[in-house]
Structures are given as structure tokens and as C-alpha cells.
Amino acid sequence: MGMKRLGFGGTPAAAATPNSARTAKEDEEASTYARQKFGSQKAISSDMYFERNSYSPALQAEAKERLTNFQGATSISSNQYFGREEPEDNDAMGANGESWETTARDVVQRVMSNPDVQNAADSIRAGAMKLSEYLAQMGER
């Protein structure tokens, strides 16, 4: 009396029963569908085969239509591609670069008006004065 080895699940696997509902014609159609639709491609994903997610014909047609709007363009932004509004270009430079200068000046004024920055500057100034007095005393000796 020998013991048969069992598979991974610990139970003997039942033999697969053939699906009698499928006919030879259905098998033929299923085997040529992928060749006809994807014959020229090197690889496809299951989403492409089953037309899921971004591979649905409606979404692909929409993407192609979007791309035709940009034929001849040298560059496009993602906002243009997806039809979103472009933010205002506040830092467009004039001929002399005055916008950058104005922006830098505004930033420095905001930083310097901060009370913590003013206190730090006063502390550094006081420390520098003490150091200069100390060095002057050392030079006299």
C-alpha cells in the first residue's frame, strides 16, 4: 500500500474537463484576432488586448485628436496638451531683465523686514564690535 504524492494544495487535482461549448470556428476566430489586430507590433500588454484603461479605442481616438491640434508646433506644455489654463507668466523678463531685479528686490525687502532677521543682524553687529575692541586691545600690548 503506497501513498501517492499530492500537489501544492495537499489534495489531488481533478482532471480538466474540456469546454464542449466552444466550437472550432470560435477557436479559429480567437486565434486570428490577436494576429489581425496586433500583427505589426513587437509586444502588447493585456490591457491593450482586452482594451482596458487607456487602451480603449475611445481614449486613443481622443489622444490622436489632441495631437493633431499640435502638428507643426515646435513645443507644447502639458497644460496645452490636456487643455488646462496656463498660469500667468509673472516673471517674464523685459529687455533689461527688470523683472528679475524687481523680484529679487522684493524678496530681500521681505526677508530684511522680518524681526528675527533684524535681531540676528544686530547680534552679529554687536559681536563684530566686541571682537574689534578685543583685537584693538591685543594690538596695544
Report the number of distinct structural domains present in the chain.
1
- Quick check: is 121 in a domain? yes
The lowest-confidence range among 1-15, 54-68, 69-83, 96-110 is: 1-15
Count of CB atoms within 10 A of residue 37's CB? 13
| 94 has a pLDDT exceeding 60 | no
Alpha-carbon distance of 100 to 92, in angstroms, equals 8
- Quick check: is 127 in a domain? yes
6: pLDDT confidence band, cut at 50, 70 and 90?
low
- Quick check: is 35 in a domain? no
Structural domain harbouring 118: 102-140
- Quick check: is 136 in a domain? yes
What per-residue confidence (pLDDT) applies to 137? 92
Q: Rounded mean pLDDT of 105-126?
A: 90
| 52 has a pLDDT exceeding 80 | no
Kindly report the backbone phi and psi dihedral angles of residue 129, in degrees, each rounded to the nearest multiple of 5, phi listed first: -65, -45
**What angle, 0 to 180 degrees and rounded to 10, lies between the N-to-C axes of helices 98-112 and 115-140?**
80
What per-residue confidence (pLDDT) applies to 132? 94
- Quick check: is 42 in a domain? no
Q: Rounded mean pLDDT of 6-27?
A: 62
- Quick check: is 120 in a domain? yes
- Quick check: is 126 in a domain? yes
Could you give the C-alpha distances from 136 to 32, 102, 125, 126, 129, in angstroms and in order? Answer: 96, 42, 17, 15, 11
- Quick check: is 45 in a domain? no
Instruction: Give me the chain's average pLDDT, please.
Output: 77
Highest mean pLDDT among 9-23, 59-73, 94-108: 59-73
* CB 55 within 8 Å of CB 48: yes
Question: In the 8-state DSSP scheme, what is residue 15?
Answer: P
